[in-house]
Structure formats: structure tokens, C-alpha cells
Amino acid sequence: MPVGTQGTVKAVPQDVLESLGAEIILANTYHLYLRPGHEAIRRMGGLHRLMSWPRALLTDSGGFQVFSLSALRKVTDDGVRFRSHLDGSSHFFTPEHAIDVQIALGADIAMSFDECTEYPATRARAEESLRLTMAWARRSLDRFRAHLSRAPWADATGCGMQCFGIVQGGMYRDLRRQCAERLVEMDFDGYAIGGLSVGEPRELTLEMIAEVLPLLRADKPRYVMGVGYPEEIEQYARMGVDMMDCVLPTRAARHGLLFTSEGRLNIKNKQFAEDQGPADAACDCPVCRRYTRAYLRHLMQAGEALAATLNTIHNLAFYLGIMRRVRTEMDKAGNGE
Ligand SMILES: [Zn+2]
């Protein structure tokens, strides 16, 4: 899932995302709640309509941004009080409020409110954090079920909006297991593994995914949040992960880092100054079909807005291409379930 933080995958228009084959994108509840505001978005018919995106949308719970971006957080059992990173104004997010905001945005998939446990965390800290996440998961799901009909596009027959639970537990295998089992009992529409890619070594990320994945129902979506590099997303998909999101392809693109079939390249390097080849000779994205490395480098050097657009289109095409290839190979091998 390309990440469209503020209701836009930075630098790329929606028609291009469609032509690249993006079926679902992610938007950030925290950002849209602060600006333009979830009630304004509800009045305008929901986020799909505001951004003119007819395909699927997933909103995160806001928890991760509250913990990573905002200032002066105060966490209690009830929720989190925090100050906006935009203007310092004070806000209070409870699981119920996080769900209300997501229902107002009207995405197809809402996430339960969780606390993303930092890394490293002591056992006692991870246990306490997990206790909070599990209590908040219950409250999130209850609120979701009770208020689902308030989605901007709900009609008399309801709507197809879903709510996913998030497995936390730090880097402790038994805590992860405990959380996964409890969430499966609660019967969410899908399950995410959160709190990974927070600075831990990659072997640990892999270990946690391998521990949790078999405990989650394979007939419901299994989503690993915030990963990863091209080789990682391929590996996780082959393990049975159905969904992933990461800012890497888009953020790296804006800094001139391109992912290619031959590895990463920094398009700003002088060696590309007169390079007449495409970013990736094996890529058939609209950027590689039309533009040279020399031109992409020039745009970066000149600080042109088109640099971000072209680089991002290529990186997204590369990431989506990996997933398409893996899906085809797994379907052929007959283990695509
Ligand atoms: Zn390309």
C-alpha cells in the first residue's frame, strides 16, 4: 500500500496511482484529524470523495503519529492527551475517539487504537504497554460495531467498512503470542502486526512475524505495518503476509534514492550526469519508458518539483511490480492462500 499521509501520495496524482495498479492506499488519521479535520471531511462525503479516490483506503488509528510526532504526551488507561505538532493545541484521543474519527473519514479499513511499544523496551514496560493495547483493542472494536452506520457513505444496508486489530508486545515472543490469541478471540475483520521497524535488527522483525503469523486466521487479511525494503516485502509476502505499507519508496524517491532490479541507486550521483539509460532497464514504468537518468539527475540538481513526481512513480511501480510478481508466482505454485 502506497502511503498517502495527508490524503495524497506525495507528488503523485490519483490517476497515475490507478494506472500503476495501486488497489489500496493508506491515509493517516492523525494528520487528517488535525487538518482539514474529520468533521469537515465527513461533511464533504468522506475521504474517498474529497481526494477523488474510488479504490480502497485504509486509515491508521493515529496512535503511531501521536506517539512519534506530537509533543507532551500523557498516556492514561483512558487515552492519550497530546499537543499538535502544527500549532501546539491540546487534544485527547481515546480508542472511541480514534474510531469515531476514522468512521468520519470513511475509509474501507479502520485500525484499532494501540500503543506502539518503543524499542528497546524492558519486559515490564512491554507488558504494561500490551495491557493498554489489548484493552484499547476491545474498546475500539465495540465502538466500531456500534457506530459503523455513521460512515459518510453508509446507507440503510450499512457499509462494508472493516476494523483490524493490531498485535503488539514489543520484541517478546510470548507477549506477541498472547496478544495475537486475544485479538483473534475478539474476531476482528483482519489483523495487523504493529510495533515493528522501530529500530530493531531485521532478524528480530522476522522472528516476531514468524511467531505471530501462524496464530492469525489465514482466511482474514494479515497486515505487517511499516515495512520495508524490496527484499523484505517479498520475503514477508512469501511467508503469508497479505498487506504491507511503507513510506520508504515514496520518501526515498523525494531524496533521489531509486530502487531498481540491480539494487539502489542515488540518482544525484555525478556518474549519472550524462547517462542516457533509463532509471532501471528492466522496468517498464512510464518514467523508465520516457526519461533518462541524466534528466532525473538534472531535475534533482535543479530542485525541480517534477523530480519528486518522476522518482516516486518509478519507485511505486517497482514496489507494486514486486508484489504482482510474487502473487503470480505463489498462485502458480498453488500456495497463494
Ligand atoms: Zn521505472
CA 287 to ligand 1 center in whole angstroms: 5
User: Does 335 or 257 have the greater pLDDT score?
Assistant: 257
For residues 103 and 95, give the distance between their C-alpha atoms in angstroms, rounded to a whole number. 12
CA 281 to ligand 1 center in whole angstroms: 8
CA 291 to ligand 1 center in whole angstroms: 9
CA 258 to ligand 1 center in whole angstroms: 9
User: Does 151 or 278 have the greater pLDDT score?
Assistant: 278
| 257-268 confidence digits (pLDDT tens) | 999 999 999 999
60 catalytic per annotation: yes
CA 10 to ligand 1 center in whole angstroms: 17
Going by pLDDT thresholds of 50, 70 and 90, the confidence category of residue 336 is very low
CA 178 to ligand 1 center in whole angstroms: 43
Catalytic residue among 15, 60, 114, 280: 60
Mean pLDDT across the chain: 95
pLDDT of residue 71: 73
| 270-322 confidence digits (pLDDT tens) | 999 999 999 999 999 999 999 999 999 999 999 999 999 999 999 999 999 99
For residues 88 and 63, give the distance between their C-alpha atoms in angstroms, rounded to a whole number. 17
pLDDT of residue 335: 57
The H or E element containing residue 211 is: helix 202-212
| 82-135 confidence digits (pLDDT tens) | 999 899 999 999 999 999 999 999 999 999 999 999 999 999 999 999 999 999
For residues 312 and 250, give the distance between their C-alpha atoms in angstroms, rounded to a whole number. 5
Residue 29 in this model has a pLDDT that exceeds 80: yes
pLDDT over 70 percentage in the chain: 98
Kindly list the distances between the CA atom of residue 72 and the CA atoms of 68, 80, 82, 83, in Å, as whole numbers in the listed order. Answer: 11, 10, 6, 6
pLDDT of residue 159: 79
Find the mean pLDDT for residues 146-172.
90
| 230-265 confidence digits (pLDDT tens) | 999 999 999 999 999 999 999 999 999 999 999 999
For residues 231 and 169, give the distance between their C-alpha atoms in angstroms, rounded to a whole number. 25
The pTM for the full model equals 0.96
Pick from 188, 187, 237, 248: nearest CA to 209: 237
For residues 81 and 130, give the distance between their C-alpha atoms in angstroms, rounded to a whole number. 19
Going by pLDDT thresholds of 50, 70 and 90, the confidence category of residue 69 is confident
275 catalytic per annotation: no
Catalytic residue among 155, 245, 284, 331: 245
> What is the secondary structure of 66-118 as a DSSP string?
HHHT-EEEEE-SS-EEEE-TTT--EEEE-HHHHHHHHHHHT-SEEE-------
pLDDT of residue 157: 67
Query: Residues 336, 247: contact at Cβ < 8 Å?
Result: no
For residues 231 and 259, give the distance between their C-alpha atoms in angstroms, rounded to a whole number. 11
pLDDT of residue 155: 78
